[in-house]
Amino acid sequence: MRTGKAGRPPQDPARQLARAHRILDAAGELVLRWGYDKTTIDDVATTAGVAKGTIYLHWKTREELFSALLRRERVILLTEVRRRAEDGTGMPGELITLLAGALVERPIMKASLLGDSSVLGKLTRLKRDSDSPTALETHLETYLGELMTYGALRADLTPREHAHILASILYGFMIVPQLLPAGYRLPDARLAELTGDAGGRALTPNAPDAPVTPENARAIARVTLDYVDNALEIAQRKLAASLGDPLGDPLGSKEK
Amino acid sequence: MRTGKAGRPPQDPARQLARAHRILDAAGELVLRWGYDKTTIDDVATTAGVAKGTIYLHWKTREELFSALLRRERVILLTEVRRRAEDGTGMPGELITLLAGALVERPIMKASLLGDSSVLGKLTRLKRDSDSPTALETHLETYLGELMTYGALRADLTPREHAHILASILYGFMIVPQLLPAGYRLPDARLAELTGDAGGRALTPNAPDAPVTPENARAIARVTLDYVDNALEIAQRKLAASLGDPLGDPLGSKEK
DNA sequence: AAATGACCAGATACACACATCCAGTCAAAC
DNA sequence: GTTTGACTGGATGTGTGTATCTGGTCATTT
């Protein structure tokens, strides 16, 4: 039994949640069309078919609303990656392909990763600072360290360097198409493939050097799924915190 | 031996050229310190120890002055790359290492590549459009095509894709350090190494697949040096055009 | 002739008043 | 209890007159 929530369910929580998602749908649509700076709460309310005040029953401030949107995007992205990673090998190149593939399909996440101020406006830098930075990177380096012990990553680089390479390749491949004249762009799927390919080649030992034993291969797949699961779980927890509690909730009041 | 201020050396082209370089030195120093937008012609003149009008004996407009600066930077960069490439193999990874290594040492070139508006201000987009784009990329794809025929590049990618990968990796590795907290950064030399390493692995066939014959290796080294030479030559020609002719020069007179 | 720096005009920054917009509130209607 | 939407105040734009700055010129100096 996992009910957890002490206190009283005010009305129909499922209905509330559905409404929150409708509002986020509207916010997402508008932020893509006009950008964060030009998207007003009134717009969001109208598009979502609720009154403005209702939005403030869900989130205390405009910024919290969009923070929830970003968190939901992250959960969707990770869920998708997790789903596609399900029966993969967990090798870096493969995971990067999945990640890149999911990213090119989620413009808001891509904008968040790239710090694209034409979409996220003033929200751009904020997320970078507050949310993920140290925690995510610590988890990442731990995960990379594990991969190294199983021979999935080159032994001649430090975890720090692996992380650096990973970030550079992912960032580079995601941003370069935006700098190129439209005619030069590759199809999204191809871009994702090449990203994973480049990442895999940069991070992975040369095949003959150190063949991965079957049990190591299994371990690699496992720790990879564990890592994605963990990231997803954290993201889900944060999203729940951003969605749950309409203002009055006694638990949420002292939060943060 | 005096000529402190009222010296009138009739007209010594070499002396003129030296003065142009002194002015560019000053401009480079100031643009790095304060950025393009805040660097005034008066500043440059004072720092270079000449009068403002003198600068206009060399360049018709402020923009031409900075264009010359950028062109000189490019020539210096390419000269350095050319020098270091002299007795190399011409394989992609190696060349990328050289290029990245030269880039991290030349902040202005790096800013130009990355479109860093904190340094180049309003000049940022201009260069991108006017100078290099199509010509450079055509030459690049030709060169990549040649490399492919000699087996220096993977045969399962198109030249276009090779160019895309190259750009992504170079851009990613150069820009990521600026986004990271200072503590995470790798030493410049290591960064250049890793860039070339990643580029080489992404673009180069796996060793056992198709061993490069000695004569192909020689051809690769040759076309690489040719490519760099050609790029350098073009850059030098453009620089000469930006430096030469103090306005009166008969050759340059058809300007505007 | 070569170099200078005082000079000019146009651009840019600043300061202020005024209009507009919009996040967030809350009394009233369900 | 839940939802609404008119309302408010602080913030953000806009217009304008003024001051300052700075790219570029050119008569003067050496």
DSSP strands (E only) in B155-246: none
Orientation angle between helical segments A159-179 and A107-114, nearest 10 degrees? 120
Distances in whole angstroms, Cα of residue B18 to Cα of each of B4, B14, B25, B30, B58: 16, 6, 10, 18, 12
Check residue A9 and give its pLDDT. 37
Please give the backbone phi and psi of residue A63, each rounded to the nearest 5 degrees, phi first. -60, -40
Residue A59, nucleotide of least CA–C1' distance:
C24
- Does pLDDT of B18 surpass 70? yes
Residue B245 touches chain A, beta carbons under 8 Å: no
Report CB contact under 8 Å: B179, A115.
yes
Domains of chain A: 13-248 (1.10.357.10)
Cβ–Cβ under 8 Å, residues B47 and B33: no
pLDDT tens digits for B162-173?
999 999 999 999
The Cα B159–Cα A158 span in angstroms is 32
What are the DSSP calls for A67-88, one per residue? HHHHHHHHHHHHHHHHHHHTTS
pLDDT tier for residue B127 given thresholds of 50, 70 and 90:
low
- Does pLDDT of B32 surpass 90? yes
DSSP state of A244: S
The separation, in Å, between residue B69 CA and nucleotide C7 C1' comes to: 28
Positive or negative CA dihedral for B215, B217, B221, B226? positive
Q: Which chain B residues have a beta carbon less than 8 Å from that of A184?
A: 160, 164
Check residue A118 and give its pLDDT. 85
Which residue of A201, A206, A209 is the best one to mutate when testing the B interface, meaning the one whose CB has the most B CBs within 10 A? A201
Nearest CB partner across the interface for A161, out of B165, B194, B201: B194
Orientation angle between helical segments A159-179 and B159-179, nearest 10 degrees? 120
pLDDT tens digits for B128-158?
545 555 566 788 889 999 999 999 999 999 9
Cβ–Cβ under 8 Å, residues A225 and A85: yes
The residue that minimises its CA distance to C1' of D25 is B53
Residue A201 touches chain B, beta carbons under 8 Å: yes
The Cα A176–Cα A91 span in angstroms is 25
What are the DSSP calls for B74-134, one per residue? HHHHHHHHHHHHTTS---HHHHHHHHHHHHHT-HHHHHHHHT-HHHHTTHHHHHHHHSSHH
Q: Which residue stretches of chain A are H helix?
A: 13-34, 41-48, 52-58, 62-85, 92-104, 107-114, 117-120, 123-130, 133-149, 159-179, 188-203, 214-243
The Cα B21–Cα B240 span in angstroms is 12
Q: Retrieve residue A113's tokens.
A: 């990763």
Q: Which residues in chain A come in under a pLDDT of 50?
A: 1-10, 129, 245-256
- Does pLDDT of B245 surpass 90? no
Q: How far is A173 from chain B (nearest CA, A)?
A: 5
What share of chain B has pLDDT > 90, as a percent? 68
Cβ–Cβ under 8 Å, residues A89 and A220: yes
pLDDT tens digits for B205-234?
987 766 788 999 999 999 999 999 999 999
- The more confident residue out of B17 and A194 is A194
Mean pLDDT for B47-71 is 92
With H, G, I as helix, E, B as strand and everything else as coil, classify residue B11: coil
